[in-house]
């Protein structure tokens, strides 16, 4: 646990008592603060109260009179699409608002660090797609190289639940826009921006608000190194804002769409090969074509980001390549779950938006595509560049018929349920084809999470093999 510092003997409010909220309450208590907690679910409040925490309904008048700060769980919208009433009450009372990520960064360092040969470092990864794979890949490479590393944030453990890092240790954090938008302290040593596409627009009040939430990771603390995906305008803009000139190697640009060979530091992947350039000269190369855990251009982008981050820590290209080759990938992300009679079955349930689904469609050929769910803002037109790889779509979700109507030129079958979609896709699949779950939509019309949706796909496939 990382005890929270700076609130000794003070009352600190904690709103939302899920994983991050309860972790924050415990870490505040460990640091000498007095957590005062609230959740809209009475049964959760009862459970937390039984652990010895004070419970207080912060919607009542005067609830913030003795509160030093309010810690908000990331799942609670604080401003858009409408101001949260409790957050608004705290702000009206002059109470600062923060989250567990902010508490982590203000509390991580301790008095022992000056005695260490190599003080610990934090790598923070954000972006629209690939955050989890990139974070897990960095963590895997470091552990494979014999380094002390911990994985936390939006993946793995809660940020305040990790062990205090040891001499030379590295903490790898996956940070969503929900986490970066509110944190009052954001000071990673290395910050990674994978890519950018429309997502969570209602939560952030539009595309500009979404980018602003991501940008805070780089603008608030000023990381020593920034790894930036520049294939979208937003990434190119961010890299330009952080750089002092063309040769500034504090900014490492990454790409899977173009060759980057300027005077600075860059990593790019083209035609299955990853290349590193520094000061206009090649400094490393990896053949990605046979690395099973990282298929497709989108995973090559993740590999570029992980490679760049690990190079800043002094790891050699050969050590990083060894980590690539032993990486199995993450569940629900281009996960090959089975093969039979020349047909591959791929679970990419994490493809919850159009951009991530497009990358999955472009990573495979001859696709029997299972798609659909709770559609996000922006429509499905962005999928068009990948539809040429689709033999047929099997559409699931409560609004499956409406989803199918938007897939112009694609042979579609409205299946509604995963059971029916898998049954029909498996019945029609032939040698050399892939049955791919890449929904291009959220799961919440039928499932509690994308993990549950992916698990259902795996179960339906497994029982028919």
How far, in Å, CA of 38 to CA of 193, rounded? Answer: 34
In 3D, which of 277, 282, 299, 278 has the Cα closest to residue 290? 299
Task: Evaluate the CA torsion angle 48, 49, 53, 56 in order and state its sign.
Answer: positive
In 3D, which of 394, 375, 386, 378 has the Cα closest to residue 457? 394
**Is position 130 annotated in a ligand binding site?**
yes
Q: How many CB atoms lie within 10 A of CB 465?
A: 11
| Distance (Å) of CA 152 to CA 100, 138, 189, 214 | 12, 12, 15, 18
Residue whose structure tokens are 């997502």: 199
Phi–psi pair at 6, nearest 5 degrees: 100, 0
The strand ranges marked E within 93-218 are 97-98, 121-126, 149-153, 170-174, 190-193
**Is position 29 annotated in a ligand binding site?**
no
**Two structure tokens written together for 179:** 């986490």
How far, in Å, CA of 319 to CA of 410, rounded? Answer: 44
Task: Specify whether the CB–CB gap between 187 and 198 falls below 8 A.
Answer: no
**Is position 417 annotated in a ligand binding site?**
no
Strands 149-153 and 121-126: unpaired
Distance of CA 201 to the CA centre of its chain: 16
**Is position 280 annotated in a ligand binding site?**
no
How far, in Å, CA of 272 to CA of 401, rounded? Answer: 37
How far, in Å, CA of 363 to CA of 428, rounded? Answer: 21
How far, in Å, CA of 183 to CA of 189, rounded? Answer: 16
Strands 34-38 and 273-278: unpaired
**Is position 127 annotated in a ligand binding site?**
yes
| Distance (Å) of CA 54 to CA 160, 300, 381 | 20, 48, 50
In 3D, which of 174, 163, 184, 155 has the Cα closest to residue 120? 163
Task: Specify whether the CB–CB gap between 63 and 92 falls below 8 A.
Answer: no
How far, in Å, CA of 313 to CA of 317, rounded? Answer: 12
How far, in Å, CA of 91 to CA of 161, rounded? Answer: 28
As annotated, the binding site includes 127-133
As annotated, the binding site for ATP includes 127-133
């Amino acid at each position: 646990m990382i005890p929270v510092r700076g609130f000794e003997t003070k009352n600190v409010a904690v709103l939302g008592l899920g994983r991050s909220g309860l972790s924050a309450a415990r870490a505040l208590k460990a640091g000498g603060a007095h957590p005062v907690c609230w959740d809209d679910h009475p049964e959760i409040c009862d459970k937390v109260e039984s652990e010895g925490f004070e419970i207080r309904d912060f919607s009542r008048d005067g609830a913030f009179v003795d509160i030093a700060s309010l810690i908000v769980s990331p799942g609670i919208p604080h401003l858009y699409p409408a101001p949260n009433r409790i957050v608004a009450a705290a702000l009206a009372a002059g109470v600062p608002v923060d989250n567990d990520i902010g508490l982590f960064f203000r509390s991580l360092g301790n008095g022992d660090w000056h005695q260490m040969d190599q003080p610990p470092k934090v790598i923070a990864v954000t972006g629209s797609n690939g955050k989890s794979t990139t974070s897990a890949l960095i963590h895997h490479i470091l552990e494979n190289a014999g380094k002390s590393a911990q994985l936390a944030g939006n993946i793995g453990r809660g940020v305040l639940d990790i062990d205090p890092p040891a001499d030379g240790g590295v903490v790898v954090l996956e940070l969503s826009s929900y986490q970066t938008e509110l944190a009052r302290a954001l000071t990673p040593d290395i910050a990674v921006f994978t890519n950018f596409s429309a997502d969570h627009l209602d939560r952030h009040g539009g595309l500009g608000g979404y980018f602003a939430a991501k940008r805070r990771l780089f603008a608030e603390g000023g990381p020593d190194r920034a790894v930036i995906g520049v294939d979208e305008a937003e990434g190119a803009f961010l890299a330009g804002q952080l750089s002092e000139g063309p040769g500034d190697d504090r900014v490492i640009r990454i790409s899977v769409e173009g060759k980057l060979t300027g005077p600075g530091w860059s990593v790019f992947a083209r035609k299955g090969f990853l290349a590193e350039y520094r000061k206009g000269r090649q400094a490393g190369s990896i053949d990605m074509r046979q690395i099973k855990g990282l298929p497709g251009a989108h995973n090559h982008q993740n590999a570029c980001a992980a490679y760049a981050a690990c190079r800043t820590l002094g790891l050699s290209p050969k050590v990083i390549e060894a980590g690539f080759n032993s990486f199995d990938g993450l569940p629900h992300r281009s996960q090959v779950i089975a093969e039979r009679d020349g047909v591959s079955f791929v679970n990419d349930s994490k493809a919850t938006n159009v951009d991530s689904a497009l990358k999955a469609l472009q990573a495979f050929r001859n696709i029997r595509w299972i798609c659909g769910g709770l559609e996000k803002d922006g429509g499905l037109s962005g999928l068009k560049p990948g539809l040429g790889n689709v033999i047929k779509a099997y559409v699931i979700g409560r609004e499956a018929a409406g989803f199918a109507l938007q897939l112009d030129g694609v042979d579609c079958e409205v299946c509604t349920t995963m059971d029916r979609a898998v049954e029909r896709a498996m019945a029609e699949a032939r040698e050399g084809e892939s049955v791919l779950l890449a929904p291009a939509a959220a799961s919440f019309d039928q499932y509690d999470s994308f993990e549950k949706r992916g698990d259902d796909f795996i179960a339906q496939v497994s029982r028919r093999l």
